[in-house]
Amino acid sequence: MKQTTLNGILLDEQTELTLNDLCRACSSSAEWIIELVEEGVLEPVGYQQTQWRFSGNSLQIAHTAMRLQRDLGINLAGVALALDLLDEINTLQARLCRFEPNDES
């Protein structure tokens, strides 16, 4: 069978998502996304909700927030704290990784 090559969307800082895009991709209500914005977890550009534009990595953050809230039973303030700490751990680990010797194999 002939295989076609799929082109996905890279969810980086250049990608723009609307509130509607995020709701659909998370199967969530707009209210829940708005709560994430109010908590400072997501930072859209644009003044009014209808003009909000989220960067591509917002989707990853929203998905993680959703799993943390659902699986661990923590409220959004706790989710926000956990996300900040995870972010910091990732930064530190990347930095630590730079000082470890390369794999000789």
Partner 1 sequence: MDFKDYYKIMGIERDASQDEIKRAYRKLARKYHPDVSKEADAEIRFKEVGEAYEALKDPEKRAAYDQLGANWKAGQDFHPPPDWDAGFEFSGGGYTGGNASDYSDFFESLFGQGFGAAQSGRPHAGFHSRGNDHHAKVLIDLEDAYHGATRSITLQAPELDSHGHVSTTQRTLNVKIPKGVKQGQRIRLSGQGSPGMGKGQAGDLYLEIEFNPHSIYKVDGHDVYLDLPVTPWEAALGASIKVPTPDGQVDLKIAQGTTSGRKLRLKARGIPGKPSGDLYVVPQITLPPADSDAARELYQKMEQELAYNPRSKLGV
Q: How far is the CB of 104 from partner 1 (least distance, A)?
A: 8
Q: How far is the CB of 29 from partner 1 (least distance, A)?
A: 14
Pair 28, 19: CB distance under 8 Å: no
Decide: residue 64, CB within 10 A, 0-12 exposed, 13-18 middle, 19+ buried.
Answer: middle
Q: 13 to 72, contacts with partner 1 by CB under 8 A?
A: 14, 25, 27, 57, 59-60, 63-64, 67-68, 71-72
For residue 95, state whether it binds partner 1 (rule: CB under 8 A). yes
Sequence length of the chain is: 105
Minimal distance, residue 41 CB to partner 1, in Å: 13
Q: How far is CA 7 from CA 26, 38, 83, 103, in A?
A: 21, 34, 29, 32
Cβ of residue 36: shortest distance to partner 1, in angstroms? 15
Count of beta carbons in the 10 Å neighbourhood of residue 17? 23
Contact 83, 61 (CB under 8 A): yes
Pick the closer one to partner 1 by CB: 25 or 37: 25
List residues near partner 1 by CB under 8 A: 3-12, 14, 25, 27, 57, 59-60, 63-64, 67-68, 71-73, 82, 86, 90, 94-95, 97-98, 102-105
